[in-house]
Amino acid sequence: MPGRKLIGLRFMLKLDQEALFSLIQIASKHRIIPVYFSSSPSVLGDAIPVLTFLDITESNTPFDEVISELKSTGMLGDIHIIEPAAEGLMIDNLSHPLTAGGDRAIILRAGGYRRLIKGIKEQFGTGGDAFLYYQGLEAGIGFGNLHRAVAEAVGIKDPVEVYRRISTASFQWAGFGKVDIIHLGDSGGKLAIYDSFECRDAKVTGQPYGSLVRGIIAGVFSAVFGKSFWVEETECLAKGDSRCVFEIRPK
C-alpha cells in the first residue's frame, strides 16, 4: 500500500466473545484500520493465534501506547510486532513454517509455477508431459491420503463421499481450480475443472495441456478408492474449450 504507514502484529487472542470487539474498539479509537486479519487455530485451547496488518497512517497515538492498551484488556497475549519491509510494504516474516491442517505448506505464485510447468514441457517435450503426470500422480496420492485422514476424523467412510465432500473442496481450496462432478462412482467418473491453474494461460494449440492436474486427479482417486486409475483429458482450455474435462477409469 504505497504511501501508507503500516505495521503488523502477531498475538494470541483469548477465546472470548468480547475479545475481537475489544480489539476493533481500540483500533477505531486510535484511527487505526485493520487491513488484514487472519486467525488459524491448529489446536483447541483458551486462545487462538492471530496475524493482522494495520494501517496507522491517520493515527496520532504512539504505537507502543496502543500495545499497552491492547495488553490491558486481558484479551491478548504473546504480542509480536512485524515491522514493514519498506514504507507501505508488509511481509509476514514471523509465521514459519506455514501449515495447512497441521502439515507444512508452501505457496507457489503464478509467476513461478507457470514458468516451471512451461519450462519442463518445452525442454523435454512429450517426456516433460510424462514427467509432470507422474509427479502429479505421486503428489495426488499424498493429497488423497490426507483427505482420507480428514474424512475419518469427521466420520466419512464411503470413498465416493470422501471424494465428493473433501477432495473436490480441497482442490479448489488449494487454488488448483473449481471442480464440477459430472458423474462419480467406485469405478471412476468424469470431472470438469474450471479455471485450472495449469491450463489457464496456456497457449491454444489444439492439444490437451493438463498433464500435472491429470496426474493429481489419478493419484487422489487411487488413494481415496484404494486402486489404480487412469485419467484422460478430453476437453482443455489449450484446445479452445471453456473448461478442462477429465475422464477417470480404473486400470
Please tell me the predicted confidence (pLDDT) of residue 196.
97
Nearest Cα residue to 217 out of 234, 241, 204:
234
b (16+ CB within 10 A) / e for 43-52: eeeebbbbbb
Q: What is the pLDDT of residues 57-116, one digit of tens each?
A: 999 999 999 999 999 999 999 999 999 999 999 999 998 888 887 788 999 999 999 999
Q: Which numeric CATH code is attached to 6-96? A: 3.30.70.260
Q: Is the pLDDT of residue 43 over 90?
A: no
Topology alike, domains 6-96 and 110-250? no
Which set of grid coordinates corresponds to residue 232?
484422460
Domain boundaries, the chain: 6-96, 110-250
Q: Which numeric CATH code is attached to 110-250? A: 3.30.1380.20
Mean pLDDT, the chain, integer: 94
Q: What is the pLDDT of residues 23-32, one digit of tens each?
A: 999 999 999 9
Q: What is the pLDDT of residues 150-195, one digit of tens each?
A: 999 999 999 999 999 999 999 999 999 999 999 999 999 999 999 9
pTM of the predicted protein model: 0.85
Q: Is the pLDDT of residue 42 over 70?
A: no
Q: Is the pLDDT of residue 40 over 80?
A: no
Q: Is the pLDDT of residue 44 over 70?
A: no
